[in-house]
Amino acid sequence: MSEPILRVSDLHKNFGDMPVLKGIDFSVEAGERIAIIGGSGSGKSTFLRCLNFMEIPTSGTIALDGKEIGAAQGRDGMRRYRESELCVVRERVGMVFQQFNLFPHMTVLENAMEGLLSVKGMKRAAARERATRELEKVGLATRLDAYPGKLSGGQQQRVAIARALAMEPEILLFDEPTSSLDPELVGEVLRVIRQLADEGRTMLLVTHELGFAYHFATKVIFLADGVFHEVGTPDEVLKTPKQERTRAFLQRFTEFAF
């Protein structure tokens, strides 16, 4: 049996004295599409940010292709991480944020090229070709020279997705990518994510769009109070959840159905 592309073991994350993640064990196989649901403050965004070390775990291990990141050092046994090692991880594990985080003084094309130039050290012509290709994929071929301020929120998020794709990550993380969008713009971003899913990409998506999660995911995780309360197929978690906590959470999305 092949090694999971990503394995998390006993992951903890504290902010000061407050525990946010409380011992998560988890693995991702290549090509899996995982939707993570849960209430505000449950630890969803922190979990994603730990996976590409935008947040450094308090304890526990994360391994890519069987190789653990960092090493335990010193008498306290705490893991230490080299910045050069984390830069490689962040190239392999790309992330799309709630806020688009585009450079306002750069055009759409320049935003998509920036990581290729500054992180990967690509030649400008090659970076331009790759960035253009990814922008075309997300439907922005005619907006390459536009600035973010001239784009809708949905278009800006699609630029952010193209920027992440241009780095050719092995895993894509989406942290509530539609939460900052007006309702009429949500669909255009979800269509792009669905297109990427159809390409067989390995993806983790934090979302409140439960209908999309049902059709998108191969696995759904309900996270509450820093632990995984329920993990299963979309049918198991979203239609026939076993845990009372999961049922109570989902009830809030169905009590006003008509």
Provide the CATH number for the domain around residue 63: 3.40.50.300
Residue 113: how many CA atoms within 13 Å on its side-chain side?
A: 17
Instruction: Give the pLDDT score at 79.
Output: 85
pLDDT given for residue 250 in this prediction = 92
Q: Determine the straight-line distance between the first and last CA of the chain, rounded to whole angstroms.
A: 46
What is the number of domains present in the chain?
1
Residue 77 located in a structural domain: yes
Give the pLDDT score at 183. Answer: 86
- Residue 242: per-residue pLDDT: 95
What percentage of the chain has pLDDT greater than the value 70?
Answer: 96
Residues in the chain where the model's pLDDT stays below 70: 1, 74-77, 255-258
Q: Is residue 174 part of a domain?
A: yes
The pTM (predicted TM-score) of the whole model is 0.92
pLDDT at 128: 96
The confidence score (pLDDT) of residue 195 equals: 93
- Show the domain range for 242: 6-254
Q: Per residue in 158-216, pLDDT tens? A: 999 999 999 999 999 999 999 888 888 899 999 999 999 999 999 999 999 999 999 99
Residue 205 lies in a domain: yes
Domain assignment present for 1: no
Is residue 234 situated within a structural domain? yes
Per-residue pLDDT, 12: 95
